[in-house]
């Protein structure tokens, strides 16, 4: 202990809030008699300026070095009184608050009982304050850059906002082009904007922005460090095409032996591409890459006499010798915008998605109906001579959403509207077609949604309430077995085509991101935000923010809004350039530590590591706390077998006197 404690005790009346049920005069008299107490005073409002002045003057006049305030909850005014201590030149952590309002005067009626309890609480606070130690609040610098993982609309928007504010952005995208799911959509509900037309300009902006480093076809390998100071390692996968030489002319793809024979991921497998490819015409960057899983030369070492793409390329860009590249950089913050996967309809085998070509998912329908899609926007099924135009078309909603049997209890929030939009697009292209939508509920909750739903019904789309039980083929037609739950009648509906309104799911590779950052998942397996209402873009890890569907299903406006929110949170750190770190953190008394590593396992923030030190001529392992990563929960302290880990302001030696004071009845 630094010096002999000289404690000042200040008892607040809080008007009559405390004084009515607690005898403050008696409490004050009691306080003076407690060990090490020099001064005890009471006042009507301790938190007021005269109240604080009283504390400050006493500290100066009487040389107080510890302060106890008996008042409202520390959650209310702890900071206020800490400031008063600082103004009087005392370390702010020499303060303890006895909560005699919320925990005493407001919950007890009997004045004698309440006064007795207030005495105990005060005694405990005095017992603890004697052993408090001064703490320093540290600040760390925030690196003036941000990492954005995921190049969909969320990642693009967040990147643009931060880059426009003047900070450097590393935008990492796993696939060869940014654009994400939004680039696959045909039109957006409810305004029917062409999705690509509103997205492409933003993609180009992101690619050409001087502050944005675009790392496409790249994956984050590791992130270490802490808020303000993340070290990031990114693997740039080999494209086998020289990025600088490629002009995006596409001659290579035309000549590829596998031209039109590899399933296109962008077209959800209903269209084909070649092994050397551009994912889609508006791809950014407009650079070709070779798919190492299908390219004949890369998989078998042989492609005809010589790979035709090499000959075809006028720029000589094809380079089979290219290797993966590792890029390393530092950032201050991280935004996770990794998006979603659509529900795998094969997991509902009763709908025959795996068996019948004319059962499609909503996202496949987007590609089929899109003018940049494999059919050029013609709504036709079958291939070659078997090509036909469907006349009877059914949509089924809530496939893989609100369905416990698939493990997805949540509503995916977009399916109601995207089925309505697709139904509208079908009626637009095939006015003669009969379109019906099987639904559980219609949730048209957003701006303009209900109006759009009305419009679609006016256009002749029928809504039938019922959840189909089975789809099978009979006489070349699909038969939907369903009960119309409004009339109670079972139906057998013969159709040419079924579109499944599949829901949104966490990405199947979400685990990789979780392992990178130690993110948590909520019960729906999407990434968990720090608080569902008040911190929806923050995570439990300081400096790491969420944007878009990685956090939960969302439509485009919500995604953009959240991306802007995440960008603004990141900018708060970036623009201040500094971040305060917790002072009440854990520390290790190294000579006592036995190096078992139990605390390392307990810590949810990886703030503790074992380090080799020289203790009296021996190399031994001891635990060491990273003061920036530590959040000050104290879980390691309770777990330490030798008592060598302690939490500042909550040390065993500070809590035990409190217990002794409260035990008190011997």
Residues that bind another protein (CB under 8 A): 73-76, 99, 101-104, 106-110, 113-114, 116-117, 120-121, 124, 127, 131, 520, 523, 540, 584, 602, 604, 631-635, 637-639, 647, 650, 652-653, 655-660, 662-666
Q: Which residues contact 53 (CB under 8 A, 6 or more apart)?
A: none
Our CB check for another protein shows the closer of 27 and 422 to be: 27
Minimum distance from residue 131 beta carbon to another protein (Å) = 7
Minimum distance from residue 519 beta carbon to another protein (Å) = 10
Q: Please tell me the distance from the alpha carbon of residue 94 to that of residue 82, in angstroms, as a whole number.
A: 8
Could you tell me if 241 and 318 are in contact, meaning their C-beta atoms sit under 8 angstroms apart? yes
- Which of helix, strand or coil describes residue 27? helix
Our CB check for another protein shows the closer of 4 and 300 to be: 4
* CB count in 10 Å sphere of residue 575: 13
Could you tell me if 121 and 104 are in contact, meaning their C-beta atoms sit under 8 angstroms apart? yes
Packing angle, helices 652-663 and 111-129, rounded to 10? 150
Q: Dmax over Cα atoms in the chain, in whole Å?
A: 101
Our CB check for another protein shows the closer of 119 and 181 to be: 119
Our CB check for another protein shows the closer of 382 and 663 to be: 663
Minimum distance from residue 73 beta carbon to another protein (Å) = 5
DSSP state of 103: I
Cα angle vertex 564, ends 559, 566, to 5°? 95
Minimum distance from residue 602 beta carbon to another protein (Å) = 7
Segments in 307-371 forming alpha helices (H) = 308-312, 362-369
Our CB check for another protein shows the closer of 423 and 581 to be: 581
DSSP state of 531: B
Our CB check for another protein shows the closer of 166 and 664 to be: 664
For 153-188, give the DSSP string.
HHHHHHHHHHHHTT-EEEEE-SSSSB-TGGGG-SEE
Minimum distance from residue 653 beta carbon to another protein (Å) = 7
Q: Please tell me the distance from the alpha carbon of residue 155 to that of residue 172, in angstroms, as a whole number.
A: 9
Our CB check for another protein shows the closer of 62 and 653 to be: 653
Q: Please tell me the distance from the alpha carbon of residue 82 to that of residue 134, in angstroms, as a whole number.
A: 12
Minimum distance from residue 632 beta carbon to another protein (Å) = 6
Our CB check for another protein shows the closer of 23 and 459 to be: 23
Residues facing residue 10 across a β-bridge: 41, 69
Q: Please tell me the distance from the alpha carbon of residue 143 to that of residue 575, in angstroms, as a whole number.
A: 10
Minimum distance from residue 663 beta carbon to another protein (Å) = 3
Minimum distance from residue 382 beta carbon to another protein (Å) = 50
Q: Please tell me the distance from the alpha carbon of residue 201 to that of residue 613, in angstroms, as a whole number.
A: 56
> Could you tell me the end-to-end alpha-carbon distance of the chain, in angstroms, rounded to an integer?
29
Minimum distance from residue 46 beta carbon to another protein (Å) = 17
For 195-253, give the DSSP string.
HHHHHHHHHHHHHH-TTEEEE-SEEEEEEEEETTEEEEEEEE---SB-TTT-----HHH
- Which of helix, strand or coil describes residue 664? coil
Minimum distance from residue 110 beta carbon to another protein (Å) = 7
Our CB check for another protein shows the closer of 472 and 650 to be: 650
Our CB check for another protein shows the closer of 61 and 109 to be: 109
The token pair at 656 is 């035990």
């Amino acid at each position: 202990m630094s010096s002999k404690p000289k404690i000042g005790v200040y008892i607040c009346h809080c008007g009559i809030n405390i004084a009515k049920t607690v005898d403050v005069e008696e409490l004050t008299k009691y306080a003076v008699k407690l060990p090490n107490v020099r001064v005890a005073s009471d006042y009507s409002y301790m938190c007021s300026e005269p109240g604080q002045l009283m504390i400050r003057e006493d500290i100066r006049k009487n040389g107080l070095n510890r302060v106890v305030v008996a008042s409202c909850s520390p959650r209310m005014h702890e900071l206020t009184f800490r400031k008063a201590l600082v103004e009087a030149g005392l370390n702010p952590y020499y303060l303890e608050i006895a909560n005699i309002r919320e925990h005493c005067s407001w919950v007890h009626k009997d004045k004698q009982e309440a006064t007795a309890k207030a005495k105990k609480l005060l005694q405990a606070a005095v017992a603890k304050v004697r052993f408090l130690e001064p703490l320093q609040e540290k600040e760390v610098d925030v690196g003036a850059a941000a990492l954005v993982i995921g190049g969909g609309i969320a990642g693009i928007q967040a990147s643009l906002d931060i880059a426009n504010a003047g900070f450097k952005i590393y935008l990492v995208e796993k696939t060869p082009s940014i654009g994400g799911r939004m680039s696959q959509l045909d039109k957006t509900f409810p305004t029917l904007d062409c999705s690509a037309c509103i997205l492409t300009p933003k993609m180009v902006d992101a690619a050409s922005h001087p502050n944005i480093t675009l790392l496409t076809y790249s994956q984050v390998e590791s992130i270490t460090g802490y808020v303000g100071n993340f070290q990031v390692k990114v693997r740039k996968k080999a494209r086998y095409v020289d990025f600088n030489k490629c002009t995006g002319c596409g001659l290579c793809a035309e000549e590829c032996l596998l031209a039109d024979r590899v399933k296109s991921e962008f077209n959800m497998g209903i269209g084909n591409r070649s092994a050397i490819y551009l994912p889609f015409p508006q791809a950014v960057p407009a650079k070709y890459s070779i798919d190492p899983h299908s390219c004949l030369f890369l998989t078998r070492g042989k492609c005809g006499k010589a790979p035709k793409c090499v000959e075809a390329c006028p720029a000589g860009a094809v380079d089979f010798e290219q290797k993966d590249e590792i890029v390393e950089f530092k950032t201050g913050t991280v935004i996770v915008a990794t998006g979603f996967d659509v529900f795998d309809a094969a997991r509902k085998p009763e709908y025959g998605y795996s068996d019948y070509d004319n059962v499609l998912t909503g996202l496949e329908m987007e590609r089929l109906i899109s003018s940049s899609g494999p059919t050029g926007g013609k709504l036709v099924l079958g291939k070659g001579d078997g090509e036909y135009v469907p006349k009877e078309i059914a949509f089924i909603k809530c496939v893989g959403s609100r369905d416990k049997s698939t493990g997805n209890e949540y509503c995916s929030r977009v399916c109601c509207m995207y089925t309505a939009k697709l139904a509208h697009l079908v009626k637009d292209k095939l006015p003669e077609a009969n379109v019906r939508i099987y639904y559980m509920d219609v949730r048209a909750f957003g701006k303009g949604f209900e109006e759009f739903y009305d419009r679609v019904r006016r256009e002749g789309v029928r809504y039938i309430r019922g959840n189909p039980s089975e789809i099978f083929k009979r006489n070349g037609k699909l038969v939907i077995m369903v009960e119309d739950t409004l009339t109670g009648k079972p139906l057998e509906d013969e159709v040419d085509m079924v579109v499944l309104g599949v829901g949104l799911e966490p990405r199947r590779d979400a685990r990789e991101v979780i392992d990178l950052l130690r993110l948590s998942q909520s019960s729906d397996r999407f990434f968990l935000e720090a608080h569902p209402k008040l911190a929806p873009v923050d995570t439990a890890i300081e400096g790491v923010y969420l944007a878009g569907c990685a956090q939960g299903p969302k439509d485009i406006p919500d995604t953009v809004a959240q991306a802007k929110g995440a960008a603004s949170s990141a900018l708060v750190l970036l623009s201040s350039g500094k971040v305060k770190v917790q002072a009440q953190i854990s520390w290790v008394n190294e000579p006592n530590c036995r190096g078992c590593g139990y605390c390392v396992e307990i810590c949810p923030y990886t703030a503790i590591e074992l380090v080799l030190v020289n203790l009296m001529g021996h190399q031994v392992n001891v635990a060491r706390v990273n003061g920036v990563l530590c959040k000050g929960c104290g879980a390691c302290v309770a777990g330490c077998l030798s008592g060598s880990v302690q939490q500042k302001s909550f040390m065993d030696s500070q809590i035990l006197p409190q217990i002794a004071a409260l035990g008190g009845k011997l």
